[in-house]
Amino acid sequence: MHIPLDQAVKLLLSGEVVAIPTETVYGLAAVFDNPTAIEKIYKLKNRPPENPLIMHLANPEDILPFIEFLPPEFDLLSKNFWPGALTLVLPVIVDKIPEIVRAGLPTQAFRIPSHPLALELLKKTGPLVAPSANLSGRPSSVSETHVETDFGLQFPVLAGGNCTSGVESTILIYSNDKWTIGRLGAIPAVAFEAVLGYLPALTSAKDPLICPGQRFRHYAPQAKLKLSIEFPRQGCIIGFSDREYPVDTQVIKWGASNNPEEVLSHLYETLRLLDQENIKEAYVDVNFPNEGLWQTLIERLNKASIRE
């Protein structure tokens, strides 16, 4: 159910969960200091309790009550990438943030989204925690309709149109005096090199203390995805708009082979379309370079293709 901004504010402040737009993906939001409201998020998504939530803020200075110190490059990162698709994980003063938000970790993930409606909302509600607005393990939501598919037509959604980048934020984690990438996302790793003076390394997804969410199955449609550079004569293929595929195949084109932004913006819509059309198996054209935003795409596809 689409609701206006003032109703979203009212619901959130009274401890309800509301789906909100951001420029990356839709989020399932609650106020950060109401553990009962936050429990509802975990339940709605069927999210593992050991997977912590990102806190969304309106201004960089809103972080100050939660931390003892700011890492040296914090100002540079926030000036260059906020508002926007960057999430920063920082050590925090643990008793300032409910345990359920942090999943018991001594750190907290923070982000200032750039979607104008999200910013307007955050100015009125204060900090909101929000995971992506999808059932745990399934493709994220990049439109109001996706949220309604997962949570029902009656679920309150602050409608903000289609998400412009369409893939989650990049997560940078500060630890041992340096930044590492906890999750690839809408900002490519190379973009941080100019700001930090070094290319942040990608953390191992196997380390549970680093970015817990990376351990879980993610982004997956019901359909079986076959990542490939060769294609059958028949069947479904997800591919590029500037390439030819065998004539008898059903081809879903998600963008040009020189435009990873365009492809990522159609990623979740395409994965959801497979289920909508009851397609059981699809080949995905993964003939693209292992660099820049293509790395985000292959990471999502690798996770989405894991079978339970």
Binding site for ligand TXA (CB under 6 A): 22, 24-25, 27, 51-54, 87, 89, 102, 105, 107-109, 111, 130-132, 168-169, 171, 173, 182-183, 211-214
Looking at the Cβ atoms of 30 and 282, the one nearer to ligand TXA is: 30
Angle ∠(123,128,133) on CA atoms, nearest 5: 120
Q: Which is nearer to ligand TXA, 57 or 109 (CB)?
A: 109
- CB-wise, 134 or 295, nearer to Mg ion? 134
Q: Distance (Å, rounded) from C-alpha 10 to C-alpha 6?
A: 6
Q: Which residue is nearest to Mg ion (CB)?
A: 132
User: Minimum distance from CB of 281 to Mg ion (Å)?
Assistant: 24
Residue 143 interacting entry, from Mg ion, ligand TXA, none, C-beta within 5 to 8 Å by type: none
Q: Cβ closer to Mg ion: 266 or 300?
A: 300
- Supply the minimum distance, in Å, between the C-beta of residue 216 and ligand TXA: 8
Which CB sits closer to ligand TXA, 135 or 232?
135
In the bound complex, what is the minimum distance in angstroms from residue 132's beta carbon to Mg ion?
3
CB of 211 to ligand TXA, least distance (A): 4
CA–CA dist 175, 180 (Å, integer): 8
Query: 106-145: which residues touch Mg ion (CB under 5 A)?
Result: 132
Beta pairing partners, 107: 91
- Asked if residue 270 binds Mg ion (CB under 5 A), the reply is no
Q: Which does 52 bind (CB under 5 to 8 A by kind): Mg ion, ligand TXA, none?
A: ligand TXA
Residue in this structure with the two tokens 């059958």, named with its chain if needed: 232
107 or 214, CB closer to Mg ion? 214
SS3 string of the chain?
Answer: CEECHHHHHHHHHCCCCEEECCCCCCEEEEECCCHHHHHHHHHHHCCCCCCCCEEECCCHHHHHHHCCCCCCCHHHHHHHHCCCCEEEEEECCHHHCCHHHHCCCCEEEEECCCCHHHHHHHHHHCCEECCECCCCCCCCCCCHHHHHHHHCCCCCEECCCCCCCCCCCEEEEEECCEEEEEECCCCCCHHHHHHHCCCCEECCCCCCCCCHHHHCCCCCCCCEEEEECCCCCCEEEEECCCCCCCCCEEEEECCCCCCHHHHHHCHHHHHHHHHHCCCCEEEEECCCCCCCCHHHHHHHHHHHCCCC
Q: Which residue is nearest to ligand TXA (CB)?
A: 213
When CB distances are held under 5 to 8 angstroms depending on the partner's kind, the choice from ligand TXA, Mg ion, none that residue 111 binds is ligand TXA
Give me the least distance between CB of 229 and ligand TXA, in Å please: 29
- State the minimum distance, in angstroms, from the CB of residue 245 to ligand TXA: 31
Question: Which of Mg ion, ligand TXA, none has residue 265 at its interface (CB below 5 to 8 Å by kind)?
Answer: none
If the CB atoms of residues 9 and 271 are measured against Mg ion, the closer one turns out to be: 271
Q: Do the Cβ atoms of 83 and 113 come closer than 8 Å?
A: yes
- Which does residue 146 touch among ligand TXA, Mg ion, none (CB within 5 to 8 A, set by kind)? none
**Closer Cβ to ligand TXA, 45 or 226, answer by number:** 45
- Contacts to Mg ion by CB under 5 A: 132
